[in-house]
Structure 1
Amino acid sequence: MSANTEAAVPATSAMQASPVRQGRMVRLWADVKRNKVSYLFLAPFLLLFTFFTIIPIFMSVGLSFTYYNILEAPKFIGLSNYKLLFVDDDIFLKAIGITLKFAFITGPLGYAMAFLLAWLISQIPVKYRFFYTLCFYTPSITSAVAMSVVWLYLFAGDRKGLLNYYAMKLGLIDEPYLFLQNVDSIVPVIIIVSLWMSMGVGFLAFLAGLQNVPKDLYEAGAIDGIRYRWQELIYITVPAVKPQLLFGAVLQVVSSLTVFDVSIQLVGLPSPLYAGHTILTHLYDYAFIKFEMGYASAIAVVLFAMMIGLNRVIFKLLGRD
């Protein structure tokens, strides 16, 4: 084949591809015009999502390759921030371990608790559901500052702390235990408080989904031989609320990886020997205390990548349909 013929092949391919792209754009524009009312309703959300989510993500990725201290213009330094994160920053590596430990404990436990409590509430009479829903949902909408007052009293490291008072009164310990200063008990305390506050939007989504499962499915199941509640739960309820399960799982991953307020209010910043130091706490330290925005952006990008990875796993498990 001659050189002219070989050169003509890519040109022909490009000419063929161009009408295809143009055809797709024409079809897209025709779809927009046909459904313009729907797109107008979507426009406010799309604008807000673009300006407050999409653009900040790209800006954060860009700033992660720079040195930026707010006062001076960003200076490009390549991968230096990431090298510092994973090679020289021992506190960040420790924060990753603490965050993953926290996520792998509170994530599944909080998820299971939210679903089981929602399922139990859906089994009681309707007139009592609002009261129980309010009781379990209230901690999640109460500020961490307000909740920390109760938990600080419970875990206080002196004789007036509720746990220490009763433990010493029963003769279990001889002197007060420093729950919030001992490096071995800091993470368990944060986990307990976070689980208490984990009945949030995911819990409400589970409850709404469970209350909208068609009754016909249960009647058909009874005809087919289902006799027990746990059989209904496994074979009917769980498949029927799969969209809510996916939604709750995504929320649980995000909340478990972004623990911050509880840790700050209970053990301070920095925590004793950085025992309660999470990735988001590390990000806050560099962004709003040290004002190293380039380095903080690199931390944010790593946290974002972890969220995306875990969410992809969840979508593979629960999002097949």
Structure 2
Amino acid sequence: MAHSPLMNEKKGDVLYPSKEPKASLYSRFKRALVIHRHSYILLAPYAILFTMFTVLPVLMSILISFTHFNMLEMPKFVGWQNYTRLFLEDDIFLIAVKNTLLLATITGPISYIACFIFAWLINELSPKLRAFMTLVFYAPSISGNIFFIWQIMFSGDRYGIINGLLMKIGIIIEPILWLKTEAYIMPIIIIVQLWLSLGTGFLAFIAGLQTVDRTLFEAGAVDGIRNRWQELWYITLPSMRPQLMFGAVIQLTTAFAVADVSINLAGFPSVNYAGETIVTHLIDFGTIRFEMGFASAIATVLFILMLSTNLFVQKMLRKVGE
């Protein structure tokens, strides 16, 4: 009688392993492929597009970062030369790293918490009012020429909204060149970035709050949960971990990829590179100077920063509700 590979023969008190060889990794993969073939067929279009337009470009960028490539000649392998130049010779890149980390440290957590708090409060409203308030909070992130409003507010003449208000109440005598003064550029960029941050993560939190099972709150009340904060920590947050993970990835990626705000408000380049970020530095070398090898090295460093930060945040979020 044949023995199953998953069964053992028993003789007395001694267990003997089956004599049939274990299935190879390839055969197990092939069997799983046949069993779940419909799922893989449905997943195939996305997997192909994701590989072509995300995975392959990232891998190509990493390879090109070890070359000298000006888009006119064939790439020439230069080893670690681009990275050595980046960290030891490029002082502007160090300024960009400092500004990017400052933006990510401030706007990332604040916008993430703000997105959840606003979503939590809006979720308590009636359906019609909830839909309207969701549109109000989400609209700035999809507006087209929204920077025009901020340029008017921080205009450097007396007709600028901020200058006009401060001069009217007597705080300043002369107009301040807000977007041309080094000390004010980063604070303004941070303010505008926070205002624009209620985007996809905000919608994910709204959706996650809608999926929380209401019966859990009744069970929690029986188990000793007595207030809304305990409900939030022990029931709501653990129930929407996928949305929390997704929101963290979106908010951190957005915080590290700030470029449009700096370029539209502070110019390109900004005064003394006060608004320089890693992405604006990447745009400079990639689309203006066409030093694609060096630009790819910048992109690789940014990719490593994003990946390591996201892994750390996801590890911390797994402890929610413990």
- TM-score normalised to structure 2 length: 0.90
2-structure distance, mates of 1:27, 1:131: 51
- Aligned residue runs from structure 1 range 251-290, under 5 A: 251-290=250-289
Shift of 1:225: 4.2
1-structure distance, mates of 2:58, 2:249: 18
Shift of 1:51: 0.7
2-structure distance, mates of 1:109, 1:320: 19
Shift of 1:102: 0.5
Shift of 1:320: 6.2
1-structure distance, mates of 2:219, 2:35: 41
Q: In structure 2, what is the equivalent of residue 33 of structure 1?
A: 34
AA matched with 1:287:
G
- Aligned residue runs from structure 1 range 118-137, under 5 A: 118-137=119-138
The 3-state SS of whatever aligns with 1:185 is helix
1-structure distance, mates of 2:182, 2:250: 29
Q: In structure 1, what is the equivalent of residue 294 of structure 2?
A: 295
Q: In structure 1, what is the equivalent of residue 305 of structure 2?
A: 306
1-structure distance, mates of 2:264, 2:137: 21
1-structure distance, mates of 2:319, 2:167: 53
- Aligned residue runs from structure 1 range 114-263, under 5 A: 114-143=115-144, 146-263=145-262
Shift of 1:267: 0.8
Q: In structure 2, what is the equivalent of residue 10 of structure 1?
A: none
2-structure distance, mates of 1:225, 1:30: 48
**Residue by residue, what CA displacement relative to the aligned partner does 1:268-313 show, whole Å, maximum 9, x if unpaired?**
1100000000000000000000000000000000000101110110
Shift of 1:219: 1.8
2-structure distance, mates of 1:125, 1:224: 29
AA matched with 1:112:
I
Shift of 1:228: 3.1
- TM-score normalised to structure 1 length: 0.90
Give the root-mean-square deviation of aligned CA atoms: 1.5
Q: In structure 2, what is the equivalent of residue 65 of structure 1?
A: 66
2-structure distance, mates of 1:30, 1:237: 39
1-structure distance, mates of 2:130, 2:319: 32
1-structure distance, mates of 2:204, 2:259: 24
**Residue by residue, what CA displacement relative to the aligned partner does 1:234-288 show, whole Å, maximum 9, x if unpaired?**
2321222222111111111111000011111111110000000000000000000
How many correspondences in the alignment? 300
1-structure distance, mates of 2:40, 2:250: 27
Structure 2 residues not aligned, in runs of 5+: 1-20
AA matched with 1:229:
R
Shift of 1:141: 1.3
Shift of 1:208: 0.7
Q: In structure 2, what is the equivalent of residue 4 of structure 1?
A: none
2-structure distance, mates of 1:314, 1:64: 27
Range 291-300 or range 244-253, more displaced? 244-253
**Residue by residue, what CA displacement relative to the aligned partner does 1:42-98 show, whole Å, maximum 9, x if unpaired?**
111111111111111111111101110001110111111000000000000110000
1-structure distance, mates of 2:76, 2:262: 33
Shift of 1:204: 0.6
Range 87-96 or range 29-38, more displaced? 29-38
**Residue by residue, what CA displacement relative to the aligned partner does 1:177-212 show, whole Å, maximum 9, x if unpaired?**
111111111111111111111111111110111111
Q: In structure 2, what is the equivalent of residue 78 of structure 1?
A: 79
Structure 1 residues not aligned, in runs of 5+: 1-18
AA matched with 2:317:
L
Q: In structure 1, what is the equivalent of residue 94 of structure 2?
A: 93
Range 224-233 or range 203-212, more displaced? 224-233
Shift of 1:29: 1.1
2-structure distance, mates of 1:210, 1:265: 35
1-structure distance, mates of 2:293, 2:172: 48
Q: In structure 2, what is the equivalent of residue 54 of structure 1?
A: 55
1-structure distance, mates of 2:225, 2:58: 49
Q: Which has the higher helix share?
A: 1
The 3-state SS of whatever aligns with 1:217 is helix
AA matched with 1:303:
L
2-structure distance, mates of 1:280, 1:161: 29
Shift of 1:229: 2.5
The 3-state SS of whatever aligns with 2:262 is helix
